[in-house]
Structure 1
Amino acid sequence: MQFTAFDATYLEKLKSGDPRTEGHFVNYFSELIRLKLRSRLNSKEALEDVKQETFVRVLALVRSEGGLRQPDRLGALVNSVCNNVLLEHYRSKNRGEMVIEEEQENTFVNRDPSALSLLESKDTKRVVRQILDELTDRDRRLLQSVLLEERDKDEVCAEFGITREYLRVLVHRAKQSFKVFYLRRVGENRSY
């Protein structure tokens, strides 16, 4: 890239809106801004937005009354305006993320179960209790201890006088018995 020294003539052409000078200005500073922003912004769209906003503001400043008085400071002006636009971009991005977080926090969700789900769970509990009552005493006590009460398995083994390996076998058999009674109960309810 070839660096350019800016003089009063260049600045006057830029103020007057000379298309060739504007084209050179945009091409020259586009590359410099891209080099500056590519490691600071994570998307091409954001880079392009910051670059375009920088150009709009710099051209507005240059064309304003009492704008840029020292043509050799044009590069510094573009750099400082680009820094300000970049900071504004970061702030707006963070503000947008905070708004989204606040909206998510303020979203009210009814976590209470519905009347239907309460009825279904009561009905399920009733059916489970009835099936447990139909099981043998040992199967019922095993399932209640291991699955419902979630007691320590070593404690359950000591209570029943069995090893952990045999506990696994007995719990499996008790589950199978429960399943048989459950499927029978579901089949009876479907036949109505």
Structure 2
Amino acid sequence: MELESFDEAYLKRLRAAEPATCDHFVAYFGKLLFIKLRSRLRSPQAIEDIRQETFARVFTKLGNEGGIRNPASLGSFVNSVCNNVLLEHYRSSSRNDYLEDNPVDPPDKGPSIDEKLVTKQTQRHVRQILSQLPEKNRRILYALFIEEKPKDQVCQEFGVNRDYLRVLLHRAKQSFRAAFEQDERGTGS
């Protein structure tokens, strides 16, 4: 990845919220933040949350008059903000760990309506992709992942040993992945 330097004109365009400049800023620093955070966090959700919070704080500071004076230090400023947000995340996580060690019996919250909707849409999408696969691949994936049958039972149904089932499963997954990627390219999602 090529590192960029920033000038006063770029900073002015950012302050003016010029869409192309903002998109470039988010794309450029988004990659760098992802690389940094990926090595420090396990959860993709936590990585995305910290990236979003970092951008929110940087854009807030950019909006303040006198917020960032030296365009050359923009990269180090974004990095510092990310470090602060990451430290806050660690502190929050350690507090949560303490609370988990001393649990208060909270009411059970089921998935939200949005989560249910996303789950339903994902299930529909997976079923649609499965319907496009060759029958053998579809049956293997359905038996193992939808019906969650034991591998020994699936081996018996297909008349294969576990080693060959692994090969069939690998091929079925590749077939699914290719169909999924083709579908994603086709829908532009």
- TM bucket by the smaller chain? 0.5 to 0.7
1:84 is matched by which residue type in structure 2? N
Q: Which residue of 1 aligns with 2:23?
A: 23
Q: Distance in 2 between matches of 1:101 and 1:64?
A: 42
Alpha-carbon distance in structure 2 between the residues aligned to 1:70 and 1:18: 19
> Displacement of 1:98 after TM fit?
0.7
Q: Which residue type is aligned with residue 25 of structure 1? A: F
Structure 2 matches for 1:52-91, cutoff 5 A?
Answer: 52-91=52-91
Matched residue SS, 1:103: coil
CA deviations on 1:26-62 (whole Å, 9 max, x unpaired) are 0000111011111100111110001010000011111
Instruction: Figure out how many residues of one structure are paired with residues of the other and give that number.
Output: 106
TM-score of the superposed pair, with normalisation by structure 1:
0.53
Greater C-alpha Rg: 1
Note the alpha carbon deviations across 1:100-154, whole angstroms, 9 max, x for none: 21226x9xxxxxxxxxxxxxxxxxxxxxxxxxxxxxxxxxxxxxxxxxxxxxxxx
- CA distance in 2 between counterparts of 1:77 and 1:13 reads 17
1:3 aligns with 2:23: no
Please list the CA deviations of residues 4-43 of structure 1 after superposition, one character each: whole Å capped at 9, or x if unmatched: 1100000000001000000000000011101111110011
Give 1:110's aligned residue.
none
Task: Supply the distance in 2 between the matched residues of 1:100 and 1:68 (Cα, whole angstroms).
Answer: 40
- The structural deviation recorded for 1:2 is 2.0
User: Which ranges in structure 2 are unaligned for 5 or more consecutive residues?
Assistant: 106-189
Aligned mates of 1:35, 1:42 — CA distance in 2: 12
Q: Deviations over 1:162-192 (max 9, x none)?
A: xxxxxxxxxxxxxxxxxxxxxxxxxxxxxxx
Q: Shift of the alpha carbon at 1:73?
A: 0.5
Overall identity of the aligned pairs, in %: 50
Aligned to 1:153: none
Alignment of 1:34-49 (within 5 A): 34-49=34-49
Cα separation, 2, equivalents of 1:8 and 1:44: 34
Take 2:7 and 2:63, find their aligned partners in 1: how far apart are those partners? 15
Aligned to 1:100: 100
Q: Determine the C-alpha separation between the residues in 2 that align with 1:85 and 1:15.
A: 22
4+ long deviations beyond 3 Å: none
Q: Which residue of 2 aligns with 1:180?
A: none
Alignment partner, residue 175 of structure 1: none
Q: What is the alpha-carbon distance in structure 1 between the residues aligned to residue 31 and residue 102 of structure 2? A: 38
Unmatched tracts of structure 1, length 5 or more: 107-192
**Partner AA of 1:56 in structure 2:** A
How large is the Cα RMSD of the aligned pairs? Answer: 1.6
